[in-house]
Amino acid sequence: MLIFTLLRGGGLQCNRVSSVTHLKAMLFKPHTISSHILSNHLNQLRSISSLKVVWRKDPELDRAIENDKRFKLCARVVREVLNEPRHVIPLRYLEKRRQRMHLKVKIETFLNHNPGLFDVYLDRIKPKTEPVRFIRFSAKLQNFLEEQKRIFQKNEDLIVAKLCKLLMMSKNKVVSADKLLHVKKEFGFPDDFLVDLVPRYSNYFRLIGSPGEGQSFLELVNWEPKFAKSVIEHRAEEESERIGIRVRPNFRVQLPSGFVLKKDMRDWVRDWMELNYVSPYADVSHLEQNSREMEKRMVGVFHELLSLSLYKRIPVPILGKFCDEYRFSNAFSSVFTRHSGIFYMSLKGGIETAVLREAYEGDKLVDLDPLLEIKDKFVELLEEGWRQRAEELRLKQEKLRRDMENSATKVDQMSVKETNVDGRRHVDNGRRRAFKDFSETVLQENLCFGPARSLQYIGVGEQYI
């Protein structure tokens, strides 16, 4: 076998190779250009794939996810009814969908603990059948849905910009329509954005393909330069204007308290941070998939996607659906633990969720998306119902206590026996004590256990989901 080696002077040296061992020795000869390139490439691969960071729980960011669970559960039930014709559904049909909605209590219990969302009424499923209970939106929920439309209209420019950015970051400027529908809640898109918003902005995007699952795609029509800057680039420009010195775009790294990286990992992160920032909107077709520069770009894409999301966090399985469009590697999820100062990988609820650290202070989201006004309005509606429920329970407790006290007074009066022994009044203490024990038992069962269990459903005690 013959192998040619490029010499420093520009000539070629021909060598005969007699074995594979001989070939390896020549390739890794320290003074040849080919051996230097190959060794450097292998070191680069090793530097990324061999680095391990131990996952560490962040209780505050986990709590941020936990705090939204009840609101999201109520939103799922509302969305289930919203998808029905005329926005009504028999109660028993909705009961059968509890597992799909991740609802742990019966629908009737859910309605009692969340008043103000739905009205219950009787209607027939088919003519000449017995009436059954249906549910429909309450007047308050109808008003909220109208308010939601107004908020979407007010922030339409933001929604268009987000949609353009998702397409501009993709490999071929095309993303599956089904995948975009799957992430509409994460980014705050209206339910009908493909049929209402997209046709009205034909200068930015268009639907291509054919109807059917996996056959329709959203394509970018025109590249908009004003959308081609990431959050990190905007931040660097603003800081440069503020201090009058050019600031290099880069990531903010904030390790949680007590988190310590090993020396080899610290050195790697330091060198990696010194690399030039690769914009998620830049053409990276020339970069090797396993290079440090490609890792820098991938981290930039994740940072931008999380920055565009409503809660600055996205479940990892959802991100995994876009591996092809955004050139993610198969082991992309390791990025979130390898760069623990930028991201946090939550395991709350048995779901891996990527969280952008810089968007939170403790368990509070501080980088607020304008579309979160919809959530605020919905939570106001829920809390109004919970206060109403709590007041009803309080009044019920007071009435029950008064009734028990009145009954106890009557028994006391009946149980008093007047005698003339030593001129004193003697009371049938045994009878009074028996009734007192009975009264306390009833109060315990009706006032403590019953209402306490109810209160934890309405937000006064522990959450029930």
Domain ranges of the chain: 2-49, 155-225, 229-368, 383-457
Instruction: Kindly state the tokens that stand for 327.
Output: 């050139």
Does 410 or 453 have the greater pLDDT score? Answer: 410
Give residue-wise pLDDT tens across range 177-223.
Answer: 999 999 999 999 999 999 999 999 999 999 998 877 778 999 999 99
Report the run of H or E that residue 218 belongs to, with start and end. strand 216-220
Report the run of H or E that residue 2 belongs to, with start and end. strand 2-6
- Please report which confidence band the pLDDT of residue 55 belongs to, taking 50, 70 and 90 as the band edges: confident
Does 447 or 223 have the greater pLDDT score? Answer: 223
Neighbouring CB atoms inside 10 A of 70's CB total: 18
Neighbouring CB atoms inside 10 A of 230's CB total: 23
As a whole-number percent, the residues of the chain with pLDDT over 90 amount to: 57
As a whole-number percent, the residues of the chain with pLDDT over 70 amount to: 77
Q: Is the pLDDT of residue 48 over 70?
A: no
Neighbouring CB atoms inside 10 A of 22's CB total: 14
Query: Distance (Å, rounded) from C-alpha 219 to C-alpha 208?
Result: 7
Placement of tokens 């629908």 in the chain: 107
- Please report which confidence band the pLDDT of residue 29 belongs to, taking 50, 70 and 90 as the band edges: very low
Helix axes 156-169, 292-308, angle to 10 degrees: 160
List, in sequence order, every residue forming a beta bridge with 356; answer none if it has no partner.
343
The predicted model scores a pTM of 0.77
List, in sequence order, every residue forming a beta bridge with 134; answer none if it has no partner.
90, 121
Per the CB < 8 A criterion, the answer to whether 278 and 301 are in contact is no
Contact partners, residue 3, CB within 8 Å, separation at least 6: 14, 15, 17, 23, 26
Placement of tokens 């092809």 in the chain: 324
Q: Is the pLDDT of residue 445 over 90?
A: no
Helix axes 69-82, 373-415, angle to 10 degrees: 110
Averaged pLDDT, 214-238: 94
Report the run of H or E that residue 437 belongs to, with start and end. helix 429-443
Q: Which three-class secondary structure state does DSSP give residue 10? A: coil
- The per-residue pLDDT for 449 is 40
Averaged pLDDT, 362-377: 96
Contact partners, residue 29, CB within 8 Å, separation at least 6: 35
142-180 as b/e, with b when 16 or more CB fall inside 10 Å?
Answer: eebeeebeebbeebeeebbbbbbbbbbbbeebbbbbebb
Averaged pLDDT, 62-76: 93
Q: Which three-class secondary structure state does DSSP give residue 118? A: strand
Per the CB < 8 A criterion, the answer to whether 137 and 119 are in contact is yes
- The per-residue pLDDT for 185 is 94
Placement of tokens 């820098």 in the chain: 296
Averaged pLDDT, 59-84: 93
Q: Return the amino acid letter for 420.
A: N
Q: Is the pLDDT of residue 293 over 70?
A: yes
Give residue-wise pLDDT tens across range 409-432.
Answer: 776 666 655 544 454 444 455 555
Q: Which three-class secondary structure state does DSSP give residue 102? A: coil
Per the CB < 8 A criterion, the answer to whether 210 and 216 are in contact is yes
The whole-angstrom distance between residue 387's C-alpha and the CA centroid of its chain comes to: 27
